[in-house]
Amino acid sequence: MHETAVYCIRCQGAFDESWLQHLDADWTIQCNDDHTAVITTITGVVCDQAALIGLLSSLYDVGLPLLQVECLGTTAG
């Protein structure tokens, strides 16, 4: 069974523009600066758990602290 899911991932800090090019066009990126910390939120569809692990591994390589990973919903495909 193939299942896709929409994920919302929050990290502390801002991504370098070159890293953002690795994301599909369907991902949305939002940076918020509350004068204490910059929080980047990326939201998009992941085709399976292996893709999610790959994305999280890439985020680890960037070095920004991971704050939250939330599954917003799944669909069987």
Please count the structural domains in the chain: 1
Report the CATH number that the domain containing residue 66 is assigned in CATH: 3.30.70
pTM of the complete model: 0.82
Burial of 14 (0-12, 13-18, 19+ CB in 10 A): middle
pLDDT at 68: 95
Tens of pLDDT, residue by residue over 44-60, are 998 888 888 988 988 88
Question: Contact 51/58 with Cβ under 8 angstroms?
Answer: no
Instruction: Please list the alpha-helical segments (H only) found in the chain.
Output: 17-20, 49-62
Full domain range(s) for residue 41: 3-76
